[in-house]
Amino acid sequence: MGQSPSTLAQVSARAGCSAATVSRVLNNSGTVSPAVRQNVLKAVKESGYKPRRTQRTVRDLVSATHPRTKTTESRFEVILHRHSPMEQISTNDGTMHLGPSSEVTGRDLISQTYSLASDFYMQILNGVMDELAFASNRAMVQASVDLMDPQIIKSVNRSEISGVILIGEYSPSLPDFLEQCHKPVVLVDIIHTGRADVVTTDNLAGIELAMDHLLELGHQKIGYVGAPRNRSFQERWATWQWKMASAGLAVNSQWVYHGPESIHDTVEDVKKILAGEPQRPTAMVCATDCGAMGVVRAAEQCGISIPDQLSVVGFDDTSASPLVTPP
């Protein structure tokens, strides 16, 4: 029998990076360092990995007419939603720069200005669009900061729409949206108990792996960054507390940051946590990569070396992560 074709996971293991990073290299999207890109391409060549189809960007997929292999096609409404302020994250010569947090419009969510800030959602959106295209379905993408916008409600209920895929941030208006939407709905990375189906990150496994790694390194003074403002973050926070209790470690409330998610705010508050030497944590688990980037900046400003004096674990594998030092 012939050898089974290599998988994306096998390529990422060979290259020593995540599957998402391999995907970014193959799609030529996002920010990847030249060294990592070279390792990925080498791993792809050595493993003989062949993507099952050519990946395309969101803009390409929105404007393109997809090849059809079925006599009929389904049409889906894909909505990218966020209602809270966003930071502008930019790069210059491989260095990350932060702009102020501000309210955004739907157009901002898919603009170049906020491309790094919204990278996590854009990766999901690209994957959704790719799968729809592969199945010879058509889709219309909308970015919205208000789920109850009358134009959104009207659009999702058009007769030709087979279903709705909602990606992004949990909104207090979600129950009202689901009541007003008369089509099948799939929520992506939005946990909600209701009639909609849900596809989400394995929050429990992610935090469990992070904690297992830190415990294996011998850490006992472990802090946490990330406000449990939605179900996903609540799961991450609860799992961290459970792992601490399972390891016989007490939760020190002075080492927990539950403030705003912006990198700037995280830096300012985490500096207070790290200034408590010798009673400061030796490791921080962060619910998001933005939180981890804030911790790294705070440590740098406090003169704390990473990873020699502080270990930091993020969550999400966004394109901005490799831009911090250490990555």
2 found inside a domain: no
Task: Supply φ then ψ for residue 318, to 5 degrees.
Answer: -85, 165
Predicted structure pTM score: 0.73
Q: Characterise 239 by phi-psi region: left (phi > 0), alpha (psi -120 to 50), beta (else).
A: alpha
Model confidence pLDDT, tens digit, residues 182-231: 999 999 989 998 889 999 889 999 999 999 999 999 999 999 999 888 88
Which pairing describes strands 283-286 and 311-313: parallel, antiparallel, or unpaired?
Answer: parallel
Q: What is the DSSP letter of 160?
A: T
Q: Which of 138, 170, 199 is the last residue of a domain?
A: 199
1 found inside a domain: no
Which pairing describes strands 86-92 and 95-102: parallel, antiparallel, or unpaired?
Answer: antiparallel
Model confidence pLDDT, tens digit, residues 240-296: 999 999 999 999 999 999 988 888 899 999 999 998 767 899 999 999 988 999 999
Q: How far is CA 128 from CA 44, 114, 125, 186, in A?
A: 23, 20, 5, 11
**More confident of the two residues 317 and 151:** 151
Regarding whether 40 and 110 lie in a shared domain, the answer is: no
Regarding whether 85 and 182 lie in a shared domain, the answer is: yes
Q: Which of 178, 199, 220 is the last residue of a domain?
A: 199
Model confidence pLDDT, tens digit, residues 23-64: 767 766 556 677 788 888 888 888 777 665 444 444 444 444
pLDDT at 269: 94
Cα 185 from Cα 181, distance rounded (Å): 8
**More confident of the two residues 327 and 229:** 229
pLDDT at 72: 62
Regarding whether 222 and 191 lie in a shared domain, the answer is: no
Which amino acid type is present at position 272?
K
Regarding whether 91 and 16 lie in a shared domain, the answer is: no
Number of domains in the chain: 3
Where residue 172 sits, what CATH number does that domain have? 3.40.50
Mean pLDDT of the chain: 82
Q: Which of 199, 232, 260 is the last residue of a domain?
A: 199
Regarding whether 281 and 255 lie in a shared domain, the answer is: yes
52 found inside a domain: no
Regarding whether 288 and 164 lie in a shared domain, the answer is: no
Regarding whether 85 and 37 lie in a shared domain, the answer is: no
**More confident of the two residues 208 and 126:** 208
242 found inside a domain: yes
Closest CA to 166 of 137, 319, 153: 153
Closest CA to 166 of 82, 61, 236, 109: 82
If 0-12 CB within 10 Å is exposed, 13-18 middle and 19+ buried, where does residue 273 land?
buried
53 found inside a domain: no
pLDDT at 93: 64
Domain carrying residue 23: 8-47
Regarding whether 296 and 250 lie in a shared domain, the answer is: yes
**More confident of the two residues 190 and 107:** 190
Model confidence pLDDT, tens digit, residues 82-97: 888 777 776 666 666 7
Q: What is the DSSP string of 87-146?
A: EEEEEETTEEEEEEEE---HHHHTSGGGTTTTHHHHHHHHHHHHHHHHTT-EEEEEEES-
Regarding whether 276 and 157 lie in a shared domain, the answer is: no
pLDDT at 326: 63
Regarding whether 290 and 194 lie in a shared domain, the answer is: no
pLDDT at 50: 67
H-type alpha helices, the chain: 8-15, 19-27, 34-47, 58-63, 106-109, 119-134, 150-156, 174-180, 203-216, 231-246, 263-274, 289-301
pLDDT at 42: 85
Cα 231 from Cα 237, distance rounded (Å): 10
Regarding whether 188 and 63 lie in a shared domain, the answer is: yes
